[in-house]
Amino acid sequence: QLHLQESGPGLVKPSETLSLTCTVSGGSISSNNHYWGWIRQPPGKGLEWIGSIYFSGSTYYNPSLKSRVTVSVDTSKNQFSLNLTSVTAADTAVYYCARSGNYYYFDHWGQGTLVTVSS
């Protein structure tokens, strides 16, 4: 059974960098035909795709965040990570990691982690 788990600080100061890691268990992050993505959801609001990565390192980002986002993968640890720089209160959200197939539907999700941006 595939399991994804987000980890990282729950509180980040404005202008600093938000860093999260997603640990994948029950399956290999290097499997063919799967992409690994980050999606966020501000409190009480809808879903926003942040970016996705293939195990080879190919990345796809939301242009609205592209200048601040880096998604990376560590196949040796079966993990992928999100870095979001220069955060503001608008970046406060529940951050989800998720797996998608070739057609980018997210079929497995982590439980989500709330990150609050506040001084």
Partner 1 sequence: DIQMTQSPSSVSASVGDRVTITCRASQGIYSWLGWYQQKPGKAPKLLIFAASNLQSGVPSRFSGSGSGTDFTLTINSLQPEDFATYYCQQTNTFPLTFGGGTKVEIK
Q: Which residues bind partner 1 (CB under 8 A)?
A: 46-49, 52, 60-64, 96, 98, 103-107, 109-112
Nearer to partner 1, 13 or 66 (CB): 66
Give, as one character, the DSSP assignment of residue 17.
-
Report the candidate in 78, 77, 79, 59 with the shortest Cα–Cα distance to residue 69.
59
Nearer to partner 1, 75 or 104 (CB): 104
To partner 1, the closest distance from the beta carbon of 90 in angstroms equals 17
To partner 1, the closest distance from the beta carbon of 119 in angstroms equals 27
To partner 1, the closest distance from the beta carbon of 56 in angstroms equals 17
In sequence order, what are the residues at sequence separation of 6 or more whose Cβ sits closer than 8 angstroms to the Cβ of residue 82?
18, 19, 20, 21, 22, 38, 50, 51, 69, 70, 71, 95, 97
